[in-house]
Structure 1
Amino acid sequence: MADTRKFAIVADIGGTNARFSRVALDTLALDKVAVYPCADFATLADALSHYQQQQGLTALKDVAIGIACPINGDEVRMTNFDWQFSIKAMQAGLGLDTLLLMNDFTAVAMSLPALAEDQKIQIGGEAANPEQPMAVLGAGTGLGVAHLVPFGQKYIPLPGEGGHVDWAPQTEQEWFIYQQLAAEHDHVSPERLLSGPGLEAIYRALAAYQKIDTPPLTAGEIGQQALSNSSALAVATVEQFYASLGSIAGNLALTLSTFGGVYVAGGIVPKLLPLLGRSEFRQRFDAKGRFSGFNRQIPVFIVTAEQPGLLGAAVYLKQTLAG
């Protein structure tokens, strides 16, 4: 037991793929990473058991999982997939000593203190104070938001649904986008813009705003055309995306005085990173009226780590096992 407890299993479960890894609890080094389509398994327990057997890790009995849904008790029901289960029943069925379940962005938040310098890029602000609160937001299929508060030698994650607050337009162009989105949805939240579907929605709205007759594009196509500078409309779409992202990130900074830093994760921003510098992202982050000077002090980091969810699940598990 002493030898096996040096290692554990962590997972990051999305609506499409299930990612698993072994972690060395002393160094938080990840290895034996495997990715499976969720649709290949009837249950999460089946996927975990398959991973253990495939990698020869059946002796490991401590597991932490970040999963894309709220965790509000023993019963878990995924938002964008059909897995649902009891945490206690899964733990008993697999004979695990520890089974921790957390929201996927709780896991990302827990990764922040463990990020190496080459896993993040600072965009403005002063040096981060590791003893102060942190915020993380990430645009992908949706917009994830969470905070992290240091407490002695531990960290307390504050999960939430900040991607679904009200979105406030600030320019004539944004008012036009708002009206377009309001005609499609009963509530216009930041997620309606700051996500893959959001990029597509911005593109359609800007085409109408500029009176350009063009077929809709996928988020990937918009990104490719913006990066290659082959479409002025795609470039304008990404610039609007970054402006809105900066405003929301700045709101998070104010909400909890995040002098530990605001971290931008998710799949979209790292792919569009070359266009960040020409955007209004940091300007909009700072533009908070009487508190603009306050926000100018707060650093923003772009998370470039490949698997922050796995790393954060490992940090949470290590903290829990330490008591």
Structure 2
Amino acid sequence: MKLALVGDIGGTNARFALWRDEQLESVSVLATADFDTPEAAIEQYLDEQGVAPGSLGAVCLACAGPVSDAQFRFTNNHWRINRDGFCQRLQIDQLLLINDFSAMALGMTRLAEGEGLQVCPGESDASRPFVVIGAGTGLGVGTLLAQADGSWTALAGEGGHVDLPIGSAREAQLWQVLYRQLGHVRAEDVLSGNGLLVLYRAMCELDGVAPELLGPAEITTAALAGDATASAVLEQFCCWLGRAAGNNVLSLGARGGVYIAGGIVPRFAEFFCHSGFARCFSDKGCMSDYFTGIPVWLVTAQYPGLMGAGVALQQQNQG
């Protein structure tokens, strides 16, 4: 396949790389806020790499949001894509747009040794679906299916926007605070970067504590340093992620296993592995035993979404 470009574009950052011989080259991360359009960001990236206009055979972009054929509107940033205008400006014949967590799911098929930590032990049933879920600017959820010919299918969805699951009286009280603030409470409203701050403020209100921390990074740092309120917030974050992941397993029959991806959880990997995630993951009443033996991994790979975009492009051109 001729030289291609792959991108993984979220709400805050756009990651780009060249795709050659089924490998990533020259990865660069750009802030979406610094560019009016994705075309402008890609043009700067290609100029920095010394790649002339018209040199690319194809582009695959993993995009946060529901992907359509002709027009795409990003969910968590100001960028838009018109397929025809994009291809004309960048002088390419093939543009493949896929959901960002479809790309993330496909990236799980190329994880190298040491790019994941096992959170829950078990034996993967590769004939069943895998769930990929991850918190970043938003909450992404993808489904991965192995095919008989050795290829993989990633099912697109918007699972981050489901209702926040409630599994205890304490969580019901927190939900009431969140509902007063937000109205409809989605999983993403808590299980995301900004959601960590939303959860912190809600917990402070519920417990009558004056909020002092101003952002998710401060909350994480304080929690790891032993601050009681911040630690409780981070613990609740892990528990709610467990409930959300478990709900997806039941809905899909995902005995292949679960990959925890995204940029947030790896920042407190040890805390996460010792948190209530595993307990809440399988806390499903009469169906709790269903989770016995389902493995869960925390993904620590640096650019799995980019790798997945390359896999998607490779599979399309070989199909």
Q: TM-score, normalised by structure 1?
A: 0.92
What displacement does 1:42 show?
3.4
Unaligned runs of 5+ in 1: none
Indicate the residue corresponding to 1:42 in structure 2.
36
Is the 8 Å Cα contact of residues 253 and 298 (structure 1) preserved in structure 2?
no
Change (3 A) 1:44 1:241: same
Indicate the residue corresponding to 2:236 in structure 1.
240
Indicate the residue corresponding to 1:88 in structure 2.
84
SS of alignment partner, residue 209 of structure 2:
coil
Matched, 1:314 2:310: yes
Is the 8 Å Cα contact of residues 9 and 21 (structure 1) preserved in structure 2?
yes
Change (3 A) 1:309 1:184: same
What displacement does 1:77 show?
1.8
Aligned length: 316
Q: State the one-letter code of the partner of 1:190.
A: A
Change (3 A) 1:117 1:128: farther
Q: 1:282 aligns with which of 246, 271, 278?
A: 278
The structure 1 segments of at least 4 consecutive aligned residues displaced by more than 4 Å after TM superposition are none
Map 1:112-191; keep pairs closer than 5 Å. Answer: 112-152=108-148, 153-191=150-188
What displacement does 1:216 show?
4.4
- Paired with 1:46 and 1:194, the residues of 2 have a C-alpha distance of 31
SS of alignment partner, residue 275 of structure 2:
coil
Moved more, 176-185 or 120-129: 120-129
Q: TM-score, normalised by structure 2?
A: 0.93
Matched, 1:200 2:197: yes
Percent pairwise identity = 40
Deviations 1:85-142 (A, max 9, x none): 3213322332213211112112111111111231111111312233321111111121
Deviations 1:203-236 (A, max 9, x none): 222223333234343111110011111x111111
Unaligned runs of 5+ in 2: none
**CA RMSD, aligned part only?**
1.8
Q: State the one-letter code of the partner of 1:301.
A: W
Map 1:43-82; keep pairs closer than 5 Å. Answer: 43-58=37-52, 59-82=55-78
Indicate the residue corresponding to 1:268 in structure 2.
264
- Paired with 2:199 and 2:79, the residues of 1 have a C-alpha distance of 32
Q: 1:33 aligns with which of 27, 33, 36?
A: 27
Change (3 A) 1:295 1:84: same
Matched, 1:257 2:253: yes
- Paired with 1:168 and 1:80, the residues of 2 have a C-alpha distance of 23
Change (3 A) 1:168 1:85: closer
Deviations 1:136-182 (A, max 9, x none): 11111211111112222222211111112122322221111011001
Indicate the residue corresponding to 2:225 in structure 1.
228
- Paired with 2:90 and 2:69, the residues of 1 have a C-alpha distance of 19
SS of alignment partner, residue 92 of structure 2:
coil
Is the 8 Å Cα contact of residues 173 and 209 (structure 1) preserved in structure 2?
no
Change (3 A) 1:63 1:220: same
Q: State the one-letter code of the partner of 1:203.
A: Y
- Paired with 2:278 and 2:41, the residues of 1 have a C-alpha distance of 41
- Paired with 1:277 and 1:82, the residues of 2 have a C-alpha distance of 35
Moved more, 53-62 or 272-281: 53-62
Change (3 A) 1:89 1:270: same
